[in-house]
Amino acid sequence: MRSTLLRNALGACAGLAMLCSCQPKKPAKRPNIIFIMTDDHTTRAMSCYDTSLIRTPNLDRLAREGMLFRNCFVTNAVCGPSRATILTGKYNHINGLTDNAKIFDSSQVIYPQLLHQAGYQTAMIGKWHLGSLPVGFDYYSILPNQGEYYQPDFIENGDTVREQGYVTDVITDKAIRFLEHRDKEKPYLLIYQHKAPHRNWMPAIRDLGIFDSVTFPEPPNLLDDFRDRGRASREQLMNISTDMWDAWDLKVAAADTLRAVEQRPARRTFKDSKGDDYKQANNKAEDLHRFFQVYNRLTPVEKEQWNKAYAGRVAEYNRLKPRGADLLRWKYQQYMRDYLSCVKAVDDNVGRLLKHLEATGELDNTIIVYTSDQGFFLGEHGFFDKRMMYEECYRMPLLVRYPPGIRPGSASDAFAMNVDFAPTLLDYAGVRVPADMQGRSLKPVLANNGQAPAGWRTATYYHYYEYPSWHMVKRHYGIRTARYKLIHFYNDIDEWELYDLQQDPHEMKNQYGNPAYAPVTDSLKQQLLALQQQYKDTNPSEK
Ligand code: SGN
Ligand code: CA
C-alpha cells in the first residue's frame, strides 16, 4: 500500500530539479537546514557525550565537525510539549500544549511556516505527535501518534500509507528521497524526526542480538532507595524493577505463550497517548496485547528471526528467576541491550544521510542540528522514562554542524533551551524573529566558539504538567542555575527539593530545609519568581 501522492509531489520537484541540474552551481545565499530529532535519546547514549555505553560514530562526527552543547535543557520533559515549544519558540503555558493528551492548536505561528513564507522549501518527515496535522510544509509524511517500529504507517499529505521495513530506515529513506527530488532553486528546511529510541525499544531485525554478550556498566544509583528525597520520587511509576512489563518492554514472554495469545483475538485495541487511558499504564494484564500490536507487524520470516534472537533471554529469565535487586539488575541489562540497539540504527541512518549530503556536495552549506525531544533515564535512580526535572532527562543532546559559521570540534557550556531552536534557525535564515517568541537565538554562541554573549541567561526554567498520567510523575516547576536546582512539586502535594549539583551531581540528597542552604534557597526562590514573570507563567500551581 503506497501512496501515489508522494510520488506525484516528488515527481513534480524532480522535473524542476532536472531542468536545473545543468545550470552552474550558485553559492547558496541562505543555508539549508536539517533538523534531526530523536525521541527519548539521552546524552549518555551518545559517545560524543559519554563513552561508557555505546559508540555512535556518526553522531560523534557531527560533534567533531560542529559544536556540542553541554547544557541544553528542555522546558517540559515530555514529547508533545517539547515539540510544541521547539516549533513555536514558546513555553507550553503560552502555546497551550501542556501535556501529551492535548491537541496542538495549528493556527499558531511556527518557525517552519515563517521559513516557508521566506522562500524555503519545507518538509516534515517522521514522528510529529501533536494531534493536529502539520501546517506550513510543502511536504509531510508523519507517523500517526507514536508510530510503529515495523512496517510503519505514515500520514502523508492527508493519506495513510503503510511502508515496508524498520521505522528508522524508512524515515531516512523518505528524508533522502525528499532531498533528491526537492526544488534545487530554493533553500530547504528538512525536519527529520525519529521514533527511536522510544519505548518499547524494538531493534532493527539486522541488529537483533548485537549487544547480547555485553554487560553494561550500572549507574551508581541504580539501587536508589529514595531515602533523602520527597514523595514525588518515591510515588512515581517508572521503576525498572516494578513498572517494566515482561512482554512489551523486556521481551521475555515465552514463545509458547506468544503463540497461544496470538491465536486469540486481541481483547481491545489500545489507543496511543493522545486520549490514552493512562490507568492502563501499569495494568500488566494488558502487557501481551500491547506487545502483539508491535510483534504482529513483523513478517512471518521476521517473526522467526525475532523469536530466535530472544529465545536465549527468555530461557535465562526462566532459569535464573531473578528476584529483588537481582531482578532489577537483570532487567537493566536487557533494557540497555534493546534501547542501545535502537540508538545504533539511528546512528547508522544519520551516517547514511550525511553520506548523501556529502555525495551531493550539500554537506557544508547545510545547518545540521541533532537533538532529542528530551533526555531519558537509563537506570539512574532505578528509573526509565523522563518527566522529572532531574538531570538525566532534563538535559537534551544538542549538536550543530555548519562549517561556514561554527568552529569544528567546539563545545559550549552556555545555557541553551529547546525554546531557543526556533529563533536560532530563523536568525540563520535571515528571517525576523517574532517578538513574542520566548527563546533567544543561539547564533551568537555558535558563532563565537561556544561563548555566551554578555547578558546571557544564568538560569533555566522548567514546568511539567502531565499528572495524573503515565508514570505518575507529579506536577512541578523549577529553576536550575550553574550550581543549584530548586523544584516545587504541587497539585496533590506541596514539596520542595533543592540539589547542590556541585556536591551531589546525581541528585541524591534533597537539601531543602537544611539551614546551611537557607540563603541559597531564598535567592533561588526570588530568581524563580523572576523567571516566571519573564516567561509569563504566573500562578504556576493553578495550570
Ligand atoms: C507511551 C509510553 C510511556 C511514555 C509515553 C510518552 N508507554 O505512553 O512510557 O512515557 O508514551 O512518551 S508505552 O507503553 O506506550 O510505550 S512521549 O515520548 O511520547 O512523551
Ligand atoms: Ca519523547
pLDDT above 80: residue 307: yes
User: pLDDT tens across 519-534, in order?
Assistant: 999 999 999 999 999 9
User: pLDDT tens across 217-273, in order?
Assistant: 999 999 999 999 999 999 999 999 999 999 999 999 765 566 666 665 445 444 444
The residue out of 292, 311, 337 marking a domain boundary is 337
Nine cell digits for residue 389? 526535572
Q: Which of 239, 248, 273, 290 to mutate to test the pocket of ligand 1 (most atoms within 8 A of CB)?
A: 273
pLDDT band for position 288 (cuts 50, 70, 90): confident
Q: How far apart are the C-alpha atoms of 474 and 258, rounded to whole Å?
A: 35
Judge if the upstream peptide bond of residue 92 is cis by omega within 30 degrees of 0. no
**What range does the domain containing 298 cover?**
239-337
Q: Is 543 exposed, middle or buried (0-12, 13-18, 19+ CB in 10 A)?
A: middle
For the Cβ of 195 lying below 6 angstroms from any atom of ligand 1, the answer is no
Phi, psi of 425 (to 5 degrees): -70, -35
8 or 533, which is more confident? 533
516 contacts: CB under 8 Å, gap ≥ 6: none
Q: Which residues surround ligand 2, an ion (CB under 5 A)?
A: 39-40, 79, 373
Average pLDDT over residues 157-176: 96
Q: Ligand 2 centroid vs 39 CA: distance in angstroms?
A: 4
Pick from 265-269, 375-379, 384-388, 396-400: least confident: 265-269
User: What does the pLDDT read at residue 3?
Assistant: 41
User: What does the pLDDT read at residue 280?
Assistant: 65
Atom 16 (ligand 1) nearest CA:
199
3-class DSSP assignment, residue 517: helix
What distances in angstroms separate CA 347 from CA 171, 211, 341, 354, one per listed residue?
A: 13, 15, 10, 11
For the Cβ of 182 lying below 6 angstroms from any atom of ligand 1, the answer is no
Rg of the chain taking only CA atoms, in angstroms: 23
133 or 23, which is more confident? 133
For the Cβ of 39 lying below 6 angstroms from any atom of ligand 1, the answer is yes
Q: Is residue 214 part of a domain?
A: no
Q: How many CB atoms lie within 10 A of CB 44?
A: 22
Q: Is residue 480 part of a domain?
A: yes
Q: Ligand 2 centroid vs 99 CA: distance in angstroms?
A: 12
For position 502, which CATH number holds?
3.30.1120.10
pLDDT band for position 12 (cuts 50, 70, 90): very low
Q: Is residue 143 part of a domain?
A: no
User: Which candidate, 181, 134, 186, places its Cα nearest to that of 156?
Assistant: 134
Q: Is residue 8 part of a domain?
A: no
User: Which candidate, 155, 234, 250, 157, places its Cα nearest to that of 200?
Assistant: 250
User: E strands within 70-221?
Assistant: 72-73, 121-127, 139-143, 153-156, 159-162, 188-193
User: What does the pLDDT read at residue 293?
Assistant: 86
For the Cβ of 199 lying below 6 angstroms from any atom of ligand 1, the answer is yes
Q: Is residue 500 part of a domain?
A: yes
For the Cβ of 40 lying below 6 angstroms from any atom of ligand 1, the answer is yes
Phi, psi of 240 (to 5 degrees): -55, -40
For the Cβ of 521 lying below 6 angstroms from any atom of ligand 1, the answer is no
Q: Is residue 39 part of a domain?
A: no
Count up the domains in the chain and report the number.
Answer: 2
Dihedral angle sign, alpha carbons of residues 282, 287, 289, 295: positive
For the Cβ of 198 lying below 6 angstroms from any atom of ligand 1, the answer is yes
Average pLDDT over residues 165-183: 98
Q: Ligand 1 centroid vs 281 CA: distance in angstroms?
A: 9
For the Cβ of 385 lying below 6 angstroms from any atom of ligand 1, the answer is yes
Q: Is residue 256 part of a domain?
A: yes
pLDDT above 80: residue 92: yes
The residue out of 295, 322, 337 marking a domain boundary is 337
User: pLDDT tens across 95-122, in order?
Assistant: 999 999 999 999 999 999 999 999 999 9
Average pLDDT over residues 176-199: 98
Does the pTM surpass 0.85? The reply is yes
pLDDT above 90: residue 292: no
The residue out of 337, 368, 398 marking a domain boundary is 337
User: pLDDT tens across 317-362, in order?
Assistant: 999 999 999 999 999 999 999 999 999 999 999 999 999 999 999 9
Phi, psi of 383 (to 5 degrees): -95, 155
Whether the Cβ atoms of residue 496 and residue 486 lie closer than 8 Å to each other: yes
Whether the Cβ atoms of residue 36 and residue 380 lie closer than 8 Å to each other: no
